[in-house]
Structure 1
Amino acid sequence: MTASSSSPPPIYTWLDFNSPLSAGRAAGLVDRLGRSGPATVLDLGCGWGELMLQVLAAVPDAVGIGIDTNADHLARGRENAEKRGLGDRVQFVEEPVAGFSSEPGDLALCVGSSHAFGDAEPPAHTAVALRALRGRVRTGGRVLFGESFWQRPPTAGELAGMWPDASADEHTDLTTLVGLAAAARFRPLWIETATLDEWEQFESGYLAGKEEWLASHGDHAEADTVRAAADAHRDMWLGYRGILGFAYLTLVAY
């Protein structure tokens, strides 16, 4: 296959997780979530469900359901599950999260997917997602909620360097985020936030597939489009680097 006929690159091949999450932090999360002995795990907006698969591997009696609308991500999750001998304990369902219904589970994961619970504008969608998640777990169950927050208020100039129409009102600070979880009838078992290194690993990994492809496909018909998209994303990331945070809240439902 020549450079001019090969397809543009997939964008997630360098990433184990579709969030700023290191292997070390993931191991700690899995250990903490597994201590409650969940029998049922829901991953809402799962992508390829890597964290769910790691929980299932750590809790041999647990079964899981991952919900997402991205068929390619779901296929990756199914393939990974089969390779690890977890295929008979997990389902990947292509369906909108907001329309999915099930009995309350013991553990729900929602990492970077709060937008999937409805049409509320940011930051109201965060409270909507947390209320919906409370209905997805039994009393005493656990939720891992991963959500962006402002590490400090961004200036107008900084906002101009982020995504189009970025607004200081789109995210809360960490204290307000934890307060929204409490208002949805959760107690915070553990509060942690992504480090700058985790952000750099995530954003560089997101772009690495494009850059690797461009290095050997400079004459491809779509090379200019891929290059422009990579440059725009990098500029956006460098614009919010050190300003936009990401929290991992381990919550207990009451």
Structure 2
Amino acid sequence: MVISESGLPPRLGSLTFHGPLSAARATRMIGRLAAEAPADVLDIGCGWGEMLLRVLDGAPGAQGIGIDINAEDLARGRALAEERGLADRVRFVEESALGTDRGPVDAVLCLGSSQALCDPGQPHDPAAALRELRRLVRPGGRVVLGEGFWERTPTDEELAGMWPGAHRGDHLSLGALVDLAIEAGLRPAWIETASAEEWEDFESAYRYDTEVWLAAYPDHPLAAETRERADRQRSAWLNGYRRVLGLAYLTLVAVA
């Protein structure tokens, strides 16, 4: 088991993508995007940029920029770019995406991070995020959006089991989300949603290293805090949003 300097397992070390996304689905999404031969790709809230790096690998004429506020994730992205021979074609920048002037570009990725485009002092506004995404892409360009939606209306009990303060207004239905994209000037060229298997793989991998570490080091000074956090996260999924919260992957085309 790999242990960090803090004595804890590496953060999110068993995740490939930071979301319920299989390699097979990612390959299909990237193929559709690469077929348009984008010259420049912007990744909003990129994390370690796995999707961005795979797009650049599939579109050899493209340059990429990933922006995020997590320095640890960005460092992981730079290391991956070096390993794959892509360091000369991508930049990972630590900055806020709010009001960014890094567009317009041919393709924008925004996978589970549309909140980065919204005022942090206000409730999440998917309509505002979609307008920003339209601003950041050239006419005819592509936006690949990963966004949560309610697969069905959650019950009061399910809401109580989710994240603190969860309420029905946190997400829209899939139909309402797509309607907002159209209103923002983006046509839905491809609509797909994460499968139950993708969710289970993501949720399990999210905590895998931590659970193995907790089993090996139950009396570690940081074990109680780490165990409480892992148990809370798992409970929120199993007793709250499992098969209630969906994740839509929308490939959107900017209207001329």
TM-score, length-scaled by structure 2: 0.95
Q: How far apart are the structure 2 equivalents of 1:251 and 1:6?
A: 42
Shift of 1:205: 0.5
Runs of 4 or more off by more than 3 Å in structure 1? 120-123
User: Given residue 250 of structure 1, which amino acid in structure 2 is its aligned partner?
Assistant: T
Gapped runs of 5+ residues in structure 1? Answer: none
Superposed CA deviations along residues 32-77 of structure 1, whole A, max 9, x for unmatched, are 1111110100001100110010010011111000000000000000
Q: What SS does structure 1 have at the residue aligned with 2:154?
A: coil
Task: Output the aligned Cα RMSD.
Answer: 1.3
CA contact (8 A) 1:67 1:92 kept: yes
CA distance in 1, matches of 2:209, 2:34: 33
Separation (CA, whole Å) in 1 of partners of 2:128 and 2:10: 32
Q: What is the distance in 1 between the residues matched to 2:126 and 2:158?
A: 23
Q: What residue in structure 1 maps to residue 249 of structure 2? A: 248
Contact 1:45 1:116 in 2 (8 A): yes
CA distance in 2, matches of 1:41, 1:156: 41
Distance in 2, Cα, partners of 1:112 & 1:195: 15
Q: Give the letter aligned to residue 168 of structure 1.
A: R
Tell me the amino acid that sits aligned with residue 86 of structure 2: L
State whether structure 2 residue 127 is matched by structure 1 residue 115.
no
Q: Is the CA contact (8 Å cut-off) linking 1:110 and 1:144 kept in structure 2? A: yes
Q: Does 1:10 align with 2:32?
A: no
Separation of aligned partners in 2, 1:229 and 1:162: 14
Q: Which amino acid aligns with 1:117?
A: L
Give, as a single letter, the amino acid of the residue that structure 1 aligns with 2:220.
H
CA distance in 2: counterparts of 1:119 and 1:134, whole angstroms:
17
Displacement of 1:146 in angstroms is 0.5
Q: Tell me the alpha carbon deviations over residues 169-222 of structure 1, each in whole angstroms, 9 at most, x when there is no partner.
A: 110000000001001000000000000100000010001011011122212101
Report SS of the residue matched to 2:126: helix
Unpaired runs of 5+ residues, structure 2, are: none
Please say which of residues 159-168 and 146-155 is displaced more in the overlay: 159-168
Matches within 5 A, 1:152-231: 152-231=152-231
- Indicate conservation of the 8 Å contact 2:191/2:251, yes or no: yes
- Are 2:20 and 1:20 equivalent residues in the alignment? yes
Pair 1:95 & 2:95 matched = yes
> Contact 2:103/2:135 (CA < 8 Å) preserved in 1?
no
Q: CA deviation at 1:161?
A: 1.2
CA contact (8 A) 1:106 1:138 kept: yes
Q: Comparing 131-140 with 93-102, which one deviates more in the overlay?
A: 93-102
- The alpha carbon displacement at 1:164 in A equals 1.2
- Paired residue for 2:126? 126
Shift, 1:163, TM fit: 1.1
Q: Distance in 1 between matches of 2:11 and 2:102?
A: 31
2:146·2:248 contact (CA, 8 Å) conserved in 1?
A: yes
